[in-house]
Structure 1
Amino acid sequence: MILVENLHKSFGEAHILKGISTCFDQGKTNLIIGQSGSGKTVFLKSLLGLFQPEEGKICYNDRIYSQLTDDEKRDLRKEMGMVFQGSALFDSMTIEQNVMFPLKMFTDMSKEEMEERVDIVLKRVNLPDAHKKFPSEASGGMQKRVAIARAIVNNPKYLFCDEPNSGLDPKTAILIDNLIQEITKEYDITTVINTHDMNSVMEIGEKIVFLKDGHKAWEGSNKEIFKTDNEAVTNFVYSSELFKKVRVMYQEEDRN
């Protein structure tokens, strides 16, 4: 679980995060959504410890980040997995070497142990025979799955995903969403996803935090978001005919 209380972050005179408080539950897919400039990326990087807020606190299972020593912060970062926008794989490394990279950095495993762990996670993301391929030989969907495998190879307690569906076709995007949700449940991870993809909201949005101008404007589930009368949310979500139809469907279900 990640608990956020009254988080503020500024850059010079630009006040980006304005008193955000929320909780991201363990074993659930937690989504951060909002328009460009709403503070999503700064919020995610604050959760990762890349930005230090001026006010407020972030607690990781009762550990307050700002009160940890440097060694304790390093230990906490070892418990975090990250899926970057664009996958961020090393082009000069094979898929096996990419996935093994965090093990070499953060563990004292033997070569055999690392190879066994890489085998396990590549099988889990349905890439059992991709070890010797290079990223350039893999499709966009395969690269995302490699990025997920690399993110979970250290058995993280916390998984962060920045626009994991960026650049993918709708069918592949749904497969990636489902894979992230399945892994979240199986590993009992606290997963936080920064996304613009409304299909992700529909498919896996167990907890959604909607940001607007640096404020938390709304939070709830993917079922609740289609019923809310919050004007900021409805203006953002129902910009397409598809979501208008889904809203009507939910309203009819309620009447029945």
Structure 2
Amino acid sequence: MIAINDIHKSFGDAHVLKGITTVLEKGKTNLIIGQSGSGKTVFLKCLLGLFSPEEGDIEYDGKKYSSLSGDEQRDLRQEMGMVFQGSALFDSMTVEGNVRFPLEMFTKQSKSEMKERVDAVLKRVNLIDAHHKYPSEISGGMQKRVAIARAIVMNPKYLFCDEPNSGLDPKTAILIDNLIKEITEEYNITTVINTHDMNSVMQIGEKIIFLKDGLKEWEGTKNEIFKTENEAVTNFVYSSELFKKVRQMYIEERN
């Protein structure tokens, strides 16, 4: 669980985060949504420890980040897995090498222990025959699965995903969404997903936080989105014709 208490973040005169308070729940997919410029990326970087809020606190399972020593903060960051928007794989490394990289950097495991762990996570993301391929030799969906395997190889307590469906076709995007949700539940991870993909919201949005102009405008579940009267949320969610029809169907069924 990650508890965020009244955090503020500014860059010069730009007040980007304006007192956000929320709880990101363990074993659930927590989605951060909002328009460009709403503060989503800065919020995510604060959670990752890349930015330090000027005010407020962030607690990771009861540990207040600002109260930890430098070594303790480093140890905490090693409990975080990250799936980047573009997968961010090393082109010169094989799939196996990409997934093994965090183990080589941050653990003292033997080669056999590393191989066993890499094999296990690649099997979990359904990549059992891709060990010796390079990123350029596999599809975008497979690259994303490699990125997820790398993110979970060290058994993180917290998993952060930045636009995990970016550049994927709708069918593959659904597979990635479902994989992230399954891993979240199996490993009991606190998963935070930064996304603009409303299909993801409706597919796996167990908790949704909507940011607007650096404020938490609304939070709830994917089912509660249909019920909200918050105009900013409805304008964002139902900007497409598809979701307008879904909204209308919901209203008609309720009446």
TM-score higher than 0.5 here? yes
Residue 185 of structure 2 aligns to a residue whose secondary structure is: helix
**1:237 corresponds to which residue?**
237
Q: 1:106 is matched with which residue?
A: 106
Match of 2:134, as an amino acid?
F
2:141 partner letter: G
Mapping 1:61-80, distance limit 5 Å: 61-80=61-80
| Aligned-residue offset at 1:253 | 3.6
In the alignment, is residue 192 of structure 1 matched against residue 188 of structure 2?
no
CA deviation map 1:124-166 (0-9, x unaligned): 0000010000000010000000000000000000000000000
What corresponds to 1:13 in structure 2? 13
User: 2:216 and 2:78 mapped to 1: Cα distance?
Assistant: 28
Aligned positions of 1:124-143 closer than 5 A = 124-143=124-143
Provide the residue aligned with 1:119 in structure 2.
119
Residue 105 of structure 1 deviates from its aligned partner by 1.1
| Percent identity of equivalent pairs | 79
* Residue identity in the other structure for 2:69: T
In 2, distance between residues paired with 1:254 and 1:155? Answer: 43
Q: CA deviation at 1:249?
A: 2.5
Aligned to 1:169: 169
Q: State the match for 1:157 in structure 2.
A: 157
Cα distance in structure 1, aligned partners of 2:2 and 2:254 = 33
- Output the amino acid matched with 2:168: L
1:218 aligns with: 218
In the alignment, what sits opposite 2:59?
Answer: 59
> What SS does the corresponding residue of 1:17 show, helix, strand or coil?
strand
Partner of 2:30: 30
Please give the per-residue CA displacement for 1:172-226, whole angstroms capped at 9, x wherever unaligned: 0000000000000000000000001000000000000000000000000001011
How far apart, in 2, do the equivalents of 1:247 and 1:185 lie?
29
Structure 2 portions without partners, runs of 5+: none
Q: What stretches of structure 1 move > 4 A for 4+ residues in a row?
A: none
The Cα of 1:245 is off from its aligned counterpart by 1.5
Alpha-carbon displacement from aligned partner over 1:224-244 (angstroms, at most 9, x marks no partner): 011111000011111111111
2:140, 2:127 → 1: CA distance?
13
What is the CA distance between 1:254 and its match in structure 2? 2.9
Q: Distance in 2 between matches of 1:132 and 1:64?
A: 41
How far apart are residue 246 of structure 1 and its match? 1.4
Q: Does the CA-based 8 Å contact 1:31-1:192 persist in structure 2? A: yes
| Inter-partner Cα distance in structure 1 for 2:235 and 2:15 | 24
Q: Deviations over 1:24-78 (max 9, x none)?
A: 0000000000000000000000000000000000000000000000110011011
What is the distance in 2 between the residues matched to 1:170 and 1:227?
26
Rounded to whole Å, the distance in 2 between the matches of 1:232 and 1:47 is 24
Q: Calculate the aligned-residue CA RMSD, in Å.
A: 0.7
Aligned partners of 2:162, 2:24: CA distance in 1, in Å? Answer: 16
**Counterpart of 1:43?**
43
**Equivalent residues of 1:3, 1:59 under 8 A apart:** yes
| Alignment check: 8 A CA contact 1:82 1:161 kept | yes
Structure 1 stretches lacking a partner, 5+ long: none
Instruction: Determine if contact 1:2/1:61 at 8 Å carries over to the other structure.
Output: yes
Per the alignment, residue 92 of structure 1 pairs with: 92
Q: Contact 1:227 / 1:247 at 8 angstroms: preserved in 2?
A: no
Deviation at 1:248, TM superposition (A): 2.1
Matches of 1:161 and 1:25, distance apart in 2 = 15
Q: How far is the alpha carbon of 1:97 from its aligned partner?
A: 0.3
